[in-house]
Amino acid sequence: MQKHQMLIDGEWVAAQKGEYFESFNPFTGEPWALIPRAGAADVELAVAAARNAFKNPAWRGISASARGALLRRLGDLVARDAEKLGILETRDNGKLISEMGAQTRYMPQWYYYFGGLADKMEGRVIPIDKAGCFNFTLEEPLGVVAAITPWNSPLMLATWKLAPALAAGNTVVWKPSEHSSVSALEFGKLFAEAGFPPGVVNILTGFGNEVGTPLIAHNDVAKVAFTGGDRTGQAVYEQAARGIKKVTLELGGKSANIVFGDANLDNAVKGVVSGIFAATGQTCIAGSRALVERSVHDEFVRRLVDFARTAKMGDPLDPGTQVGPITTKPQYAKVLEYIQIAKDEGAKCALGGTAASRPECGSGWFVEPTIFTGVDPKMRIAQEEVFGPVLSVIPFDGEEQAVAIANDTQYGLAAGLWTENMGRAIRMSQTLEAGTVWINTYRATSYMSPFGGYKRSGIGRESGLSAMREYLQEKSVWIDTSGNVPNPFVMR
Ligand code: TXE
């Protein structure tokens, strides 16, 4: 079994207590790596390193253009190592190499884009209303950013935080998920090679309560950037609030993929399948509710089931595999529990509905692609995030009802619309409560386009120009130009 070290102040180290935990390969169900189990003492060291690096002229004193150049160099190194990093992700989280490899190959674009933005975040001169005053603004970094990331797209979701945080001049302590530390540690080797000074990025591996909690609580942490489940996100938000820390939260959803009778049904079937089965449902943007207009409901379900039935399950490292295992054993148990809940609630199982025992699934944690019909929008299976290959099909009549059902959850991350009526598509893009709306497509994301949630799906935006602002603060600077300080007892 490989034994790993974590990154503090440019050094590769064990945890202070010398403890390790096992990381599992979800395809075999076997442990394959030993990861340092960090705790509060390691948090102290990593935050001190990040704090010192933030003040160090080697980082604070270089120009924004030089920071941008470092990010672009990092992007080149990620491009060079994309295949290796993708394979490590798949070993650790069991998601398809076709998906993980595509993500690691696309990741350099974030470093190029935010590297380009580094020297373009200009302040403003305000045409101030006070005579004898000159007023301008500065865009300044926040300080030490705590980045806490999940296991489902480990390096991509970290990249969404690291690239803007570093471009803005912050330093980072990154805690990857305990289920996917290996790719993070391999990725961590690239910072020194790209030329980042020690301590600018530190990586602490371990568990949420042992590393995440003291990290968020630390006085020298200015901001918390978190992706994960909404309950954990709530706890993170509450704790960050005690220190009045800035936060961005990306917290998953119960996204609706809405199919109208006038849609190109072949495309809509592909879109719905891609939304729920392509990433084994383990994605924040999973289109886990298919809302289907009643006029085409039966025909659509028939085509959907026929298509989903052909999905090839098996080794996620095989490029031909279409549905992989569930990443963790508790998550596997959670998905099966929700399938039982749906059955108990009276939903009708049109496909799957069990653990997968196909020979090609070996001893991995696989669940059959599952489709429930006859789902009432109030059922738990239609309201709660399952995070697995489980789709709820809900019929509707007309646009108004579609919007009402789509918006009737506590989440608001994304929505898909399948229709040839562009007037309706544009109307609905304005009434759907979701941070992203896809029209006749699904699961498209880009470094250029803001991504984030409405309602319980989160706070703040990642990617695009908006992300840069999440890692900067604006300072207002006043200068007297009159040389004559007025009456000190009257506010100017
Ligand atoms: O995520 P957690 P889990 C959802 C999905 C899934 C559920 C639970 O529904 O079934 O969350 O998954 C760290 N303070 N999503 O338990 O707990 C943890 O170590 C600070 C949606 O794996 O949210 C990890 O690094 N940090 C989601 C990170 O938080 C804490 C992606 C995420 O773990 C912490 C993943 C604490 N108290 C799961 N507790 C999405 N939005 O895509 C845990 N952590």
Co-location of 132 and 85 in the same domain: yes
298: in domain:
yes
The pLDDT value given to residue 1 = 86
- Report the number of distinct structural domains present in the chain: 2
Q: Is the CB of 209 under 6 A from ligand 1?
A: yes
Look at residue 9 in the predicted model and tell me its pLDDT. 98
Decide: 132 in ligand 1 pocket, CB within 6 A. Answer: no
* Torsion angle, alpha carbons of 54, 56, 57, 62, to 10: -30
Is the residue at 216 inside a domain? yes
User: Looking at residues 378-385, what average pLDDT do you find?
Assistant: 98
- Same domain (yes/no): 41, 165: yes
- Tell me, yes or no, whether 247 and 157 share the same domain: yes
220: CATH: 3.40.605.10
Q: Do 311 and 370 share a domain, yes or no?
A: yes
Residue 415 pairs with which residues in a beta bridge?
256, 437
pLDDT digits (tens, 9 = 90+) for 290-302: 999 999 999 999 9
Q: Is 445 inside a domain boundary?
A: no
Same domain, 204 and 296: no
How close is the Cα of 380 to the center of ligand 1, in Å?
A: 20
Q: What is the CATH classification number for the domain harbouring 399?
A: 3.40.309.10
- Determine, yes or no, domain membership for 359: yes
The reply to whether 289 and 330 lie within a common domain is: yes
Residue 368 pLDDT grade (very low, low, confident, very high; cuts 50, 70, 90): very high
The domain containing residue 266 runs over which residues?
Answer: 256-439
Per-residue pLDDT at 362: 87
46 and 184 inside one domain:
yes
pLDDT digits (tens, 9 = 90+) for 231-289: 999 999 999 999 999 999 999 999 999 999 999 999 999 999 999 998 999 999 999 99
- Report residue 492's pLDDT band, with 50, 70 and 90 as the boundaries: confident
For residue 158, tell me if it sits in a domain.
yes
Residues 321 and 234 in one domain: no
Instruction: Compute φ and ψ for 138, nearest 5 degrees.
Output: -120, 140
| Ligand 1 neighbour 453 (Cβ under 6 A) | no
Phi/psi region, residue 176 (left: phi>0; alpha: psi -120 to 50; beta: rest), is beta
Residue 444 lies in a domain: no
In a domain, 487, yes or no: no
Q: Residue 186: which pLDDT band, with cuts at 50, 70 and 90?
A: very high
Q: What is the pLDDT of residues 41-57, one digit of tens each?
A: 999 999 999 999 999 99
- Cβ 331 under 6 angstroms from ligand 1: yes
Indicate if the pLDDT at residue 442 is higher than 90: yes
Q: Is 252 in the pocket of ligand 1 (CB under 6 A)?
A: yes
Q: Is 361 an active-site residue?
A: no
Report CA(297)–ligand 1 centroid distance (Å).
Answer: 35
Looking at the structure, do residues 434 and 468 belong to the same domain, yes or no? no
For ligand 1, what atom is nearest to the CA of residue 235? 37
Residues 236 and 379 in one domain: no
Q: How far apart are CA 110 and CA 166, in angstroms?
A: 11
Chain centroid to Cα 481, Å, comes to 48
For 400, residues 6+ apart whose C-beta sits below 8 A from its C-beta are none
CA angle at residue 417 from 253 to 280, to 5 degrees? 45
pLDDT band at 486 (very low <50, low <70, confident <90, very high): confident
Distance 59 CA to ligand 1 centre (A): 31
Same-domain check for residues 92 and 222: yes
Per-residue pLDDT tens for 420-429?
999 999 999 9
Options 89, 99, 210, 284, the catalytic residue: 284
Q: Is 11 an active-site residue?
A: no
99, 139, 210, 250: the active-site residue = 250
1-46: pLDDT as tens digits = 899 999 999 999 999 999 999 999 989 989 999 999 999 999 999 9
Q: Same domain for 237 and 267?
A: no
Give tens-digit pLDDT for 330-353.
999 999 999 999 999 999 999 999
Looking at every residue in the chain, the average pLDDT score rounds to 97
Q: Is the dihedral of CA 330, 333, 335, 340 positive or negative?
A: negative
Burial class from Cβ neighbours inside 10 Å (0-12, 13-18, 19+) for residue 244 reads exposed
To which H or E segment does residue 256 belong?
Answer: strand 256-259
447 domain residue, yes or no: no
The mean per-residue pLDDT over the stretch 51-72 comes to 98
Probe ligand 1: pick from 148, 156, 232, max atoms within 8 Å of CB? 232
- 233: closest CA among 284, 163, 160, 275? 284
Q: Is the CB of 462 under 6 A from ligand 1?
A: no
